[in-house]
Structure 1
Amino acid sequence: MINQEQLIKDITNYAETISLPTEKATKLFRNSLVDTITNTVSVQEDGKIFVSTGDIPAMWLRDSSFQVLPYLEIAEDVPAVKDLIHGVIKQQLAYIQHDPYSNSFNKTATGAHYNSGDETDIPVSDLVWERKFEIDSLCTPLHLAYNLYEKTGYDAHLDEEFWETVDLIINTFVTEQHHMESPYYFNRPDCVSQDTLSDGGRGAPVGYTGMVWSAFRPSDDACVYGYFVPGNLFIVASLRQLLPIVPDTHVELKERMETLISEIEKGVKEYGTMTVEETGEEIYAYEVDGLGNQLFMDDANVPSLLSLPFLNYCEPSDPLYLTTRKYVLSEYNKYYYSGKYLAGVGSPHTPPEHVWPIAIAMEGLTTNDVEVTKEKMDKIVATDADTLQCHEGVHVDDPSQYTREWFSWSNMTFCQLVFHYFDQSK
């Protein structure tokens, strides 16, 4: 079990050794790095670690993974972060075992829910904050677990419980490859359309593609078409990384992982790309349904099309990625906004003309050009409205207009960008 008070001191001391090109950038980095361990982390009596998303008192499987992932960059200087991340993974595994269809959870079984009127195929547990099925929620803990191992050599978390949970995740994905036969549905009465699923909570019809169906996007907004392409590519990346370290005692699991990877890749190749009518260029679609419908857009939330190299699906130089990126960072993407102070990707989850610092950071995290990385870092620093917080969305013409006072995932993605800048500057 970690000593949180000591870890806060150690991370604070580390942060004080870091200086960036400007005083403002240095302050924002130091504040962000210390804020998450100080104000979002709660150590449970059993050693599991709960990480709130910030101004909402719940733990998202996705957000919590990206909130602590940057701490791996300081593991050599602050070794206790390995135990911190192990504790977060143990909490995530317990949540997934409790309900693999839920995206966010309470610290304890308080019965608190985002909306107590939600209707699903099973009663919403008292431990569950929200039961939106998002395929990335099952990928991010695997991504975090692999990075803990790969970056530090630490492997205590790769125990039998971990591989049993991977097996449950694979079972869930296989079920949702055939969503029209799945029992899962989600219906939220009296809400905006993106907060619930159409067709009586089943979502719009889909055909079989080999890809895994997702009810909601990482923004927590409903998918228009059920096969969320960046999420499926994230499944491929997450499982592909784990394959070499699957124990010999889990041969069947490894074979099922390989089969799923193959089926998803085949599905993306057949259904998940599209041709830009004006230029004839091939790009990834954002969502498809396997029935001929395709949607191109991108959303600031990760996984996104923009984030694919960050998620280790492909290299930043991959030709199909680069072509897709060009269209993501243009008006061809209806959620790309440009104004007096900012240009970048926003989200239908937030008001128009709002760009997300997470997306600005992701532009830097998916390039090998250190000057672009520094430019994105400087842009985030210049548009924080002097709050020393990175926020959710920021208005392109007026940075004093922003959503969410405190959004830990955004803060820590800025820290991830800073570490990337340091790596590129060596």
Structure 2
Amino acid sequence: MSYPSVHRLMAQMQRQLQDRPQLAETFANCFPNTLDTTVQLLDDGTTFVFTGDIPAMWLRDSSAQVSPYVPLAAHDTELRRLISGLIRRQAMYLAIDPYANAFNAQPDGRGHVDDRPGQGPWVWERKFELDSLCYPVWLLSRYWDATHDRAVFTPEVVGMLRTVLDVMTAEQRHDTSAYRFERPDPHLPSDTLPDGGRGMPVAYTGMVWSGFRPSDDACTYGYLIPANMFAVVVLGHLANLARSVLDDGALAARAEALRAEIEHGIQTHGVVEHPTHGRMYAYETDGLGRHLLMDDANVPSLLSIPYLGYRPADDPTYLNTRRFILSADNPFYFAGASAAGVGSPHTPGGLIWPIALAMQGLTATDRREQDALLDALVSTTAGTQYMHEGFHPDDPAHYTRPWFAWANSLFAEFVLHWAGASAEDRPSA
């Protein structure tokens, strides 16, 4: 399918980047990658967007993969069909299993079939990740802001908003939740939850418990701070949609109350005093006094706080946190001959993730830092001119996942952000 607004923007960007041919080529490859390789428009009017070299659709990845196209949907009927269809597909999946993170295109039982308890045939993987509830609401809100397309608010999509609230509320008190997850003989300990699949004990904080991070690795402590920050943001979006579109004051009030409880929990239990960096956010906590100080490449991350809309880029606590993240004090910050940046325990061996480099650029306020990050991204593709999951900072030819559409989309989003900042007007359709 042809997307006219995408082709027009690509042509404009090629003209704007003509003095940076390597950047222009990499952008031209990465920007349409999701559309060209991972989108299936289905007969029921929904859209299946798989992640790349894994044939399943993650609620998180699919939302992030189409993110650069959302502003263009206002003037592109075909993009509206794609994105609204994806939103409806996400609503369908959350109605099937709101605790699952990844789904099949058909109920064919593919995926991690040995996980306990057993999962339905639509589910590829049933790791409960708080961000999997956040991303569909984030996408819906952005799509509405871009298009004002009321047709997207089907009964199923409205039901999705209620489901998100129900599950978040339930997981504020995980000790009473029925959710369990175990993977027999996991490849890594982070692929399963301890204590019979319940996870380590937590105290009530007002925050929402998450079994797994957006890396699909198990949380060490159950309250993942950046995911709860994302929840605060999207609950604000949900409340706004409930009032302004659905005329449902009760739904809005419920979202606002939950939002306030989570925010209080973050500020009460998620802030620490670091001996070097001062007042900063922890990555995880259990509400019992333990904190995990790190950041992970996958979004939501602490680095992505301004991108998510939780705090501005000049917020003092964020700036302290950012200095920690981009230093050797973060155990997953790696530096080598070719690049320096944030990686993830999901890819052992000290690999840097292009997603983290792009997010560092999207949240940077220094033009020189952005320029250096663009140079690092385009020079570490091992000649492929595509982003990868992770690469070794001393040898970019050592990389994981050659086909990872989320990374390509986020890189393209960073380039668009950078190009808009350098011109009087951002290129438009």
- In the superposition, the TM-score normalised over structure 1's length comes to 0.95
The residue number in structure 1 matching 2:405 is 408
- Rounded Cα–Cα distance in structure 2 between residues aligned with 1:77 and 1:166: 26
Contact 1:345 1:356 in 2 (8 A): yes
- Rounded Cα–Cα distance in structure 2 between residues aligned with 1:313 and 1:157: 26
The residue number in structure 1 matching 2:37 is 39
Shift of 1:77: 6.0
Contact 1:16 1:30 in 2 (8 A): no
- Rounded Cα–Cα distance in structure 2 between residues aligned with 1:365 and 1:181: 39
Matched, 1:212 2:208: yes
Contact 2:326 2:342 in 1 (8 A): yes
The residue number in structure 2 matching 1:11 is 6
- Rounded Cα–Cα distance in structure 2 between residues aligned with 1:36 and 1:250: 35
The residue number in structure 2 matching 1:238 is 234
Specify the code of the residue in structure 2 equivalent to 1:232: N
The residue number in structure 2 matching 1:198 is 194
The residue number in structure 2 matching 1:261 is 259
- Rounded Cα–Cα distance in structure 2 between residues aligned with 1:6 and 1:69: 18
- Rounded Cα–Cα distance in structure 1 between residues aligned with 2:268 and 2:316: 18
Moved more, 248-257 or 304-313: 248-257
- Rounded Cα–Cα distance in structure 2 between residues aligned with 1:158 and 1:416: 26
Return the match for 1:48 from 46, 49, 61. Answer: 46
Shift of 1:402: 0.5
The residue number in structure 2 matching 1:165 is 160
The residue number in structure 2 matching 1:354 is 351
Shift of 1:273: 0.8
The residue number in structure 1 matching 2:86 is 88
Q: Which runs of 5+ in 1 are unaligned?
A: none
Shift of 1:153: 3.4
Contact 2:30 2:408 in 1 (8 A): yes
- Rounded Cα–Cα distance in structure 1 between residues aligned with 2:214 and 2:396: 24
Shift of 1:87: 1.0
Specify the code of the residue in structure 2 equivalent to 1:387: T
Contact 1:106 1:128 in 2 (8 A): yes
User: How many positions carry a matched residue from both structures?
Assistant: 417
Q: Which runs of 5+ in 2 are unaligned?
A: 424-429
The residue number in structure 2 matching 1:104 is 102
Identity %: 45
Return the match for 2:313 from 308, 313, 316. Answer: 316
- In the superposition, the TM-score normalised over structure 2's length comes to 0.94
Moved more, 293-302 or 160-169: 160-169
Contact 2:304 2:363 in 1 (8 A): yes
Aligned residues: CA RMSD: 1.5
- Rounded Cα–Cα distance in structure 2 between residues aligned with 1:182 and 1:104: 21
The residue number in structure 1 matching 2:272 is 274
- Rounded Cα–Cα distance in structure 1 between residues aligned with 2:316 and 2:365: 15
Moved over 6 A (4+): none
Contact 2:141 2:241 in 1 (8 A): no
Shift of 1:103: 0.1
SS at match of 1:354: coil
- Rounded Cα–Cα distance in structure 1 between residues aligned with 2:354 and 2:360: 10
Return the match for 1:330 from 323, 327, 330. Answer: 327
Shift of 1:244: 2.4
SS at match of 1:400: strand
